[in-house]
Homo-oligomer: A and B are copies of this chain.
Amino acid sequence: MIAGLPGIGSVAWLAVNHLVKQLKAELFAELYSPSFSPKVWLSDDGTVKPAKGDFYFTRSGGVGDFVFFTATEQPYSPEGQYELADRVLEFAEQLSVKRLVTMGGMATDRFTEPRRVYGGSTDPSLMNELEKNGVLKLGGGSITGTNGLLFGLAKPRNVQAICLLAETPGYLSFDAGAARAVLQVIAKINGIQVDMSDLEKQAKENKDAVDRAREPGKGWGKTEARKPVSDRELSYVS
């Protein structure tokens, strides 16, 4: 299972959604939680979209079955984050998931190129495998949020898990470059081919916008890339 919820730089959210699209994975289960924010979203066609988690399945990667999990948001309460992570892991066990990959961003306050990817795992042999694939070891520190809890709570369930954090400047809402960096590791580890052209185009747009913003007299014109629907500005209190 490859799981990633919205978080810093939307790294995990972008990466999982990219994989779902490229590997033509299909939605097969949804997860609702009272600890999501108490609002619903509207599509362009006027249909409603409640906050939820989505499970997708594919075998089109050519190297076995993949389950993906992502969500429209992270639960806003700490208990809600624990409960969501626990439910996803419970479901992963029921699906006999062998290995869980979670991911996220690591704020650097700088625009690094290429983005380095740091990682941790549930056991040392997996960590070795990650380091052989160019991942830097997270030796110490903590990971906050649902992506971290999914990773950490896999351990008492005896589900092998790794967590990959790509460097991201804190100021990008949708850091396609960081998502690409994480996906390159995931593709290598799992032996799958993933077309990155969309993410690369978006990453270049981000970088160009940041460069323009740094030119004298330009200011921060357009540093944010395309936004998903959930980031629109209209909001009604019913």
Contacts and interface: CB of A to CB of B under 8 A. Distances in A.
A100 to B, nearest CB: 11
Nearest to A37: B78
Contacts of A42: 120, 138-143
A121 B102 CA distance: 34
A36 to B, nearest CB: 8
Interface stretch (A148-156, A185-193, A205-213, A215-223): A148-156
B30 A156 contact: yes
Interface residues of A, number: 78
The dominant DSSP class at the A interface is mixed
Given A41-B141, A144-B237, A165-B238, 12 more contacts: A38-B149, A42-B143, A43-B139, A47-B121, A48-B163, A50-B149, A141-B232, A141-B235, A143-B237, A144-B236, A144-B238, A145-B238
A137 interface: yes
Stoichiometry, copies per complex: 4
Interface in A112-165: 119-124, 127, 130, 137-149, 151-153, 155-156, 161, 163, 165
Interface stretch (A18-26, A62-70, A103-111): A103-111
B76 A78 contact: yes
B46 A138 contact: yes
A40 B140 contact: no
A1 interface: no
Interface in A34-82: 34-52, 76-82
A10 to B, nearest CB: 11
B156 A238 contact: no
Contacts of A122: 47-48
A2 interface: no
25 contacts: A30-B156, A37-B78, A37-B144, A38-B146, A38-B149, A42-B138, A43-B139, A45-B124, A46-B121, A46-B127, A46-B137, A47-B122, A47-B127, A48-B120, A48-B155, A52-B156, A105-B236, A107-B237, A140-B229, A141-B235, A143-B238, A144-B235, A145-B237, A146-B238, A165-B238
Contact of A234 (B44, B104, B142): B142
B83 A34 contact: yes
Contacts of A149: 38-40, 50
